[in-house]
């Protein structure tokens, strides 16, 4: 069981399935919305997730396809839905209490990453205009 929660604890998400993927995203949207160099996303099968405290959530759509749900009380970004992948909840990795279960596999949007951040691991890197093209340096 994976457990995620917002900072104040009003919103909690439990998932009985393993993540479908864990990736680092260096796109400008993730950087601005998180305030950090990049966001680490855990993709969970929505059907295996139970959300509690949803009445504390507000939603913001940065793109026509994306809906970012955040806690109104503490501001934590709890999960994102994407209309192109409705079966997935995208949850920021920092919300999970059991960090050992999370294994990032690659970097996306590396061509868009913050110039002040240096990637310090050997995971595959993807970027280019789409953000998903394999990079020679990766």
Q: How far out from the chain centre does Cα 50 lie?
A: 17
Size of the site for Zn ion (CB under 5 A): 9
Enumerate residues 26-55 that contact Zn ion by CB under 5 A.
27, 30
Is the distance from CB of 22 to CB of 102 less than 8 angstroms?
yes
The answer to whether residue 6 forms part of the interface with Zn ion (CB under 5 A) is yes
- How many angstroms separate the CA atoms of 71 and 11, rounded? 7
The answer to whether residue 85 forms part of the interface with Zn ion (CB under 5 A) is no
Nearest residue (CB) to Zn ion, 73 versus 101: 73
Is the distance from CB of 78 to CB of 20 less than 8 angstroms?
no
Stretch that binds Zn ion, among 10-18, 43-51, 89-97, 115-123 (CB under 5 A): 10-18
CA angle 60/18/47 to nearest 5° reads 55
The answer to whether residue 22 forms part of the interface with Zn ion (CB under 5 A) is no
Phi, psi of 33, deg, nearest 5: -75, -30
Nearest residue (CB) to Zn ion, 47 versus 60: 60
The residues binding Zn ion (CB under 5 A) are 6, 8, 10, 25, 27, 30, 71, 73-74
């Amino acid at each position: 069981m994976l457990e995620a929660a917002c900072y104040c604890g009003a919103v909690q998400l439990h998932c009985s399935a393993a993540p479908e993927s864990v990736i680092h995203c260096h796109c400008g949207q993730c950087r601005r919305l998180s305030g950090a160099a990049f966001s680490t996303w855990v993709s969970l099968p929505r059907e295996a997730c139970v959300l509690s405290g949803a009445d504390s959530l507000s939603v913001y759509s940065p793109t026509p396809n994306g809906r970012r749900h955040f806690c109104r009380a503490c501001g934590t970004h709890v999960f994102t839905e994407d209309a192109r992948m409705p079966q997935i909840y995208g949850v920021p990795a920092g919300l999970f209490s059991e960090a050992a279960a999370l294994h990032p596999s690659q970097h996306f949007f590396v061509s868009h990453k913050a110039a002040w951040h240096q990637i310090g691991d050997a995971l595959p890197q993807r970027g280019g205009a789409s953000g998903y093209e394999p990079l020679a340096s990766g």
